[in-house]
Amino acid sequence: MVGCADEYPQSSINPHTDFAEVIHSLYVSIFWWTMLIMAVVWILLAWVLVKYRRKSEDEQPRQIRGHLGMEIAWTVGPALIVIAIAIPTIQAVFATQRPVSDDAMVVEVTGHQFWWEFHYPEQGITTANELWLPVDRPVNLRLASNDVIHSFWVPKLGGKRDLNPVPAVREGQDPKYNWLYFTPQQTGVYMGQCAEFCGQSHALMAMRVIVESDEGFDDWVDRWFASEGAAAPEVQEEAEDEAELQMAGVVQEEEGTGVQVAEDEDPLVAMGRDAFLNATCIACHAVEGTSAQGIIAPNLTLFGARKTLGAGIMENNQENLVRWIIDPQGIKAAAAMPGTDYAGGNWPATGLSDEEVGAIAAYLLSLK
């Protein structure tokens, strides 16, 4: 009964792409064939039970040893059933492996223990855990892994398809990738999950796919490049003289702290930016338009626009983010991020104070 509902976030019987529809129609047709076989078996069983039931106390059923007709029937019957299932299955395999159309948008998906990286070569964007796609435009996902095998699975959109580590190749040869090609047919938010056991926190490697209208997607791209640049004093410093900016009232120095605060900016956010950019955070994380350009951990540009945290495992809010920065490995075993008082991912403890953690969280949540 539970399986019959179609409004679950990760339902595979509620397809929203051409790819998922191929899988779904295969599933539905095989389902009805098995229903037909079940009906035939049950009717035969009922008929045998009635016809050959014991009619008197001393009656013995007729004893049969070896029956050529039956032997042939139960060999040929299942063989025909397997063939009947194989034909549409092979058709579906070819349909979901077909060549990509030229107008497809490429997104390079990289699996990490335990998060997702999405790189858009066309737009020059690298983001994490929340994949934005425009509706009705074919997308071609290039799947690879940074460590062990992961598997991309967003049941309403398509998959599962593995993300394999890409072995080094000789010069002039192309590395071999898995590709996943589909066209989202409806705007919405789709939940996905790593579907290949990849270590301690495999179960905590979720993702969200946000399918937007063309305008919504373009707006996201625009916001991506405008996000920090507009508000961050660091960037303005590059263009103009700091003292000039201070005179013009665009940035002011907060008394005694040395922290640059842009006009109309929450001092906590400014303090968080300062703490973030001066901590080891930036060795691994990037924020577009700032000096944070780390590439080995999730890119945090527009982080405040993300609805979830830690690869889809919890709501993205101040309270959870503070918990995460203090103790990521307590929330997600074997996460590569160091905590405030323990090392992680070859980096020492961050040693951030509670005040700094709160400010950094406020800063990251302001990025939207």
Residues that bind ligand CUA (CB under 6 A): 111, 114, 150, 194, 196-198, 202, 205
CA 206 to centroid of chain Cα atoms: 6
Q: Is residue 180 helix, strand or coil?
A: strand
Q: Based on CB atoms, which residue is closest to ligand CUA, 144 or 270?
A: 144
> Residues 158, 185: contact at Cβ < 8 Å?
no
Q: How far is the CB of 171 from ligand CUA (least distance, A)?
A: 31
% helix, strand, coil for the chain, step of 5: 40, 20, 40
Q: Based on CB atoms, which residue is closest to ligand CUA, 198 or 364?
A: 198
Q: How far is the CB of 164 from ligand CUA (least distance, A)?
A: 12
Q: Based on CB atoms, which residue is closest to ligand CUA, 104 or 203?
A: 203
Q: How far is the CB of 331 from ligand CUA (least distance, A)?
A: 16
Peptide bond before 31: cis, by omega within 30 degrees of 0? Answer: no
Strand-by-strand arrangement of the 188-193 sheet: 130-134, 206-212, 188-193
Q: How far is the CB of 114 from ligand CUA (least distance, A)?
A: 6
Q: How far is the CB of 15 from ligand CUA (least distance, A)?
A: 23
Give the angle subtended at the CA of 337 by the CAs of 336 and 340, to the nearest 5°.
145
Q: Based on CB atoms, which residue is closest to ligand CUA, 152 or 303?
A: 152
Q: Based on CB atoms, which residue is closest to ligand CUA, 129 or 299?
A: 129
Q: Is residue 251 helix, strand or coil?
A: strand
Q: Based on CB atoms, which residue is closest to ligand CUA, 114 or 120?
A: 114
DSSP symbol at 252:
E
Give the dihedral sign, CA 224/229/234/240: positive
State the CB neighbour count (10 A cutoff) for residue 300: 24
Q: Based on CB atoms, which residue is closest to ligand CUA, 10 or 25?
A: 10
Q: How far is the CB of 20 from ligand CUA (least distance, A)?
A: 20
Q: How far is the CB of 197 from ligand CUA (least distance, A)?
A: 6
Q: Is residue 338 helix, strand or coil?
A: coil
Q: How is residue 45 written in tokens?
A: 């069983």
